[in-house]
């Protein structure tokens, strides 16, 4: 299946050519990386997924297969579509596997220094016209792009978790991002079955600028004794019709990620209302990052999970 993102007949004479994205590279085999690989392969795109750990890559492939099996059970895809999609995904620990790739998205840890190191190592392996995206949920796209050899072909493409389920992708242009790159990524998102919201390059963009401070305020409510974990989550589920309470949601996102977003907001906007709650800091320092570590505001070694306080 070929991808035709745009043609001269579809655009005004003055419109720039929009590059075709025929293959995708993904850096990081974690929750976000394997989710992006999942939807990309189902959309008919060859996917190269790279991680520093072969064990992480093997685990990611098992996760993708398991999640596709669930989709088969819900009659969203067929077993043939699953088999074809899995065959489109290759894994490696070497960036050289991206040599012929049209588009590479980074889904590494939400730490700016780590992302800069990733892009520094990545760029020498890419063809000159390749587009780079970051799945960052909060860090400046302008700043990340400036650290590469192609800021005009660098963009933010923030998928929501879990990627195979959530429909939204935030598209964030850095100050140097050119129009063809933006259009190509918009069209790619549509091919993946997503809807886009374009965000300006301000700290945390749209979703996390609103969502994570709400979570931080819920942690303050716990910290100050306004309510316990169950009461806070029940109040927001039944009183605001949220599908998850904010503390349960924090565990799902990852408390380390929530803290990183709050730190980006606090540092970037210099406003005390974005100060991370000390209790959130303490949980992260303890290694209680939520579901992925087995403990956060809830203890996931129990069934059902029980509050930790």
| pLDDT tens figures, 253-274 | 999 999 999 999 999 999 999 9
Task: Say which residue the tokens 């819920």 belong to.
Answer: 218
User: Looking at residues 47-64, what average pLDDT do you find?
Assistant: 97
Whether the ω angle into residue 186 lies within 30 degrees of 0, i.e. cis, is no
What pLDDT, in 10s, does the model give residues 131-183?
A: 999 999 999 999 999 999 999 999 999 999 999 999 999 999 999 999 999 99
Task: Give CA–CA dist 298/16, Å, rounded.
Answer: 51
In the chain, % of residues over pLDDT 70: 95
The model's confidence at residue 309, banded by pLDDT at 50, 70 and 90, is confident
Token pair for residue 126?
């890419």
Task: Give CA–CA dist 29/26, Å, rounded.
Answer: 8
**Catalytic machinery residues:** 137, 158, 170, 208
**Strand, coil or helix: what is 124?**
helix
User: Looking at residues 285-309, what average pLDDT do you find?
Assistant: 95
Q: Is the pLDDT of residue 223 over 50?
A: yes
Backbone angles phi, psi at 226, to 5 degrees: -65, -35
Using the 8-state DSSP alphabet, how is residue 38 labeled?
Answer: H
**What's residue 199's pLDDT?**
96
User: Looking at residues 35-60, what average pLDDT do you find?
Assistant: 97
Q: Is the pTM of this model over 0.85?
A: yes
Task: Give CA–CA dist 122/20, Å, rounded.
Answer: 21
Task: Give CA–CA dist 117/115, Å, rounded.
Answer: 5
Answer for the pair 77, 42: CB distance below 8 angstroms, yes or no.
Answer: yes
Task: Give CA–CA dist 184/180, Å, rounded.
Answer: 6
| Residues contacting 290, CB < 8 A, separation 6+ | 250, 251, 252, 253, 254, 255, 296, 297
Q: Is the pLDDT of residue 88 over 80?
A: yes
Token pair for residue 108?
């590494």
Distances (CA, A) of 286 to 279, 289, 308: 11, 8, 13
Task: Give CA–CA dist 262/67, Å, rounded.
Answer: 31
Q: Which of 210, 144, 137 is nearest to 174 (CA)?
A: 144
Helical segments of 162-227, H only:
179-191, 207-223
The model's confidence at residue 5, banded by pLDDT at 50, 70 and 90, is very low
What pLDDT, in 10s, does the model give residues 91-145?
A: 999 999 999 999 999 999 888 999 999 999 999 999 999 999 999 999 999 999 9
User: Looking at residues 215-220, what average pLDDT do you find?
Assistant: 98
Task: Give CA–CA dist 232/289, Å, rounded.
Answer: 19
The model's confidence at residue 9, banded by pLDDT at 50, 70 and 90, is very low
């Amino acid at each position: 299946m070929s991808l035709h993102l745009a043609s001269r007949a579809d655009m005004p004479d003055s419109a720039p050519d929009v590059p075709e994205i025929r293959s995708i590279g993904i850096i990081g085999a974690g929750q976000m990386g394997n989710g992006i690989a999942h939807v990309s392969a189902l959309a008919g795109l060859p996917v190269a997924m790279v991680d520093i750990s072969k064990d992480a890559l093997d685990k990611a492939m098992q996760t993708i297969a398991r999640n596709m099996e669930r989709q088969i059970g819900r009659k969203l895809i067929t077993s043939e579509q699953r088999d074809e999609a899995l065959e489109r995904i290759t894994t490696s620990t070497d960036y050289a596997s991206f040599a012929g790739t049209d588009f590479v998205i980074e889904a590494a840890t939400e730490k700016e220094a780590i992302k800069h190191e990733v892009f520094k190592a990545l760029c020498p392996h890419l063809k000159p016209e390749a587009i780079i995206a970051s799945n960052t949920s909060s860090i400046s796209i302008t700043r990340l792009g400036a650290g590469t050899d192609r800021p005009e072909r660098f963009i933010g493409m923030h998928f929501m978790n879990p990627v195979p389920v959530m429909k939204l992708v935030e598209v964030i242009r850095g100050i140097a991002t050119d129009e063809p790159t933006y259009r190509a990524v918009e069209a790619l998102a549509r091919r993946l079955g997503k809807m886009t919201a374009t965000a300006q390059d301000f700290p945390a963009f749209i979703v996390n600028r609103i969502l994570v401070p709400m979570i931080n305020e819920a942690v303050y409510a716990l910290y100050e004794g306004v309510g316990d974990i169950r009461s806070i989550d029940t109040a927001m589920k039944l009183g605001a019709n949220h599908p998850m309470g904010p503390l349960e949601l924090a565990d799902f996102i990852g408390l380390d990620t929530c803290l990183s977003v709050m730190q980006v907001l606090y540092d970037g906007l210099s406003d005390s209302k974005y100060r991370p709650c000390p209790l959130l800091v303490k949980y992260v320092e303890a290694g209680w990052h939520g579901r992925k570590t087995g403990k956060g505001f809830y203890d996931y070694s129990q069934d059902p999970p029980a509050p930790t306080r």
